[in-house]
Amino acid sequence: MILHNKIEKEILKKRLHEEPFRRVTLSFYKFIEIADPQQFRDELFIRFTEMQVFGRIYVAAEGINAQISVPEHHLEVFEGYIQNHPYIKGVLLNHAVEDDGKSFYMLKIQVKFKILSDGLINSEFDIYNVGKHLDASTYNEKLNEPNTVVIDLRNHYEHEVGHFEAAILPDVDTYKDSIPVIVEMLEERKPDNIMLYCTGGIRCEKFSAYLRHKGFENVFQLKGGVINYAHQVRQKGLESKFTGKNFVFDERMGERVTEHIIARCHQCGAPADTHVNCANNACHMLFIQCENCASKYERCCSEDCMQVNALPEEVQRVLRKGKVHANAHHKSKIKDFQPE
């Protein structure tokens, strides 16, 4: 059995949109020692392929980080497999807030050095000595306590479209970049309570353990991240202290938590919070674009890119040859939607 995809992207996308069944978008993570990441990766690929699971999964000696979509008719079997597996039983399966089932079009499982690019050395601290997990209601209450700081562990392009009230929003490109900045700030402010949040919880999990190692005692994290928070807000009728949209790392690029639009189009300045990638594949820049500018610039980030994108594909390929991908060096760009 071939343990990786060999079919072209456009064919896979076409097949996805022709599927006669619904899919459910899920995410989960777990820090746990995995003896043989490659063997575990191959096992997952075989079992998930049997269940027609799509998505992006990272496996490493330190654990697993997964964003996936599962056919609705396979969901019960999938959940049974997860909850009975020695490595991943007990994980919180985060269900997407806004889900059209088109979040992924193939299965990609990679063995990595780490499941999270954080720059931290696991052997230097106890990565399992994490902060206290809070549900949405308790998190809301804790936000009102005196000398409490709320820290967004996501990148600038994520919190630009949505964030918690009064949260500290580090202007960073990656999670790894944010760690020394936040630690220095906390050492200066010395808050009584440190409240962390991120998309699905994984960044808080590692960072809360690191903060405890650095001597901070009252460290709290939002269980299941903003994704789980949004579900609890809707199910329990709670007030949402998170405003706007939650950026997600799949084809959707966002889940609406509240109707507030707090960002602006990067081209005209009109209220907008839809992230897109420039249609010029030589650029592929991630940016916020309103509907008017999407029409005006034909889904491109500039007139120059619009002109390039109008050229025949074979000419575009020649122009792209040997060029550094735009996402490798621009602050507002990410590559292949990979969370850092």
SS3 category, 249: coil
* 2 dihedral zone (left: phi>0; alpha: psi -120 to 50; beta): beta
Q: What is the DSSP track for 186-223?
A: HHHH--SEEEEE-SSSHHHHHHHHHHHHTT---EEEET
Burial class (CB in 10 A: 0-12, 13-18, 19+), 288: buried
Query: In whole angstroms, what is the distance from residue 192 CA to residue 169 CA?
Result: 19
What the block records as the tokens of 325 is: 């991908």
Query: In whole angstroms, what is the distance from residue 105 CA to residue 255 CA?
Result: 18
Maximum distance among all Cα pairs of the chain, rounded to whole angstroms: 61
Strand 107-111 relative to strand 54-60, pairing: parallel
Q: Which residue, 73, 116, 111, 70, is CA-closest to 94? A: 70
Does the active-site annotation cover 198? yes
SS3 category, 240: coil
Judge contact between 223 and 195, C-beta under 8 A: no
Judge contact between 305 and 280, C-beta under 8 A: yes
Task: Kindly report the length of the chain.
Answer: 340
Query: In whole angstroms, what is the distance from residue 274 CA to residue 290 CA?
Result: 7
SS3 category, 30: strand
* Residue 269 Cα distances to 150, 159, 266, 306, angstroms: 28, 17, 6, 19
- Catalytic entry in 198, 265, 290, 305: 198
Active-site residue numbers?
198
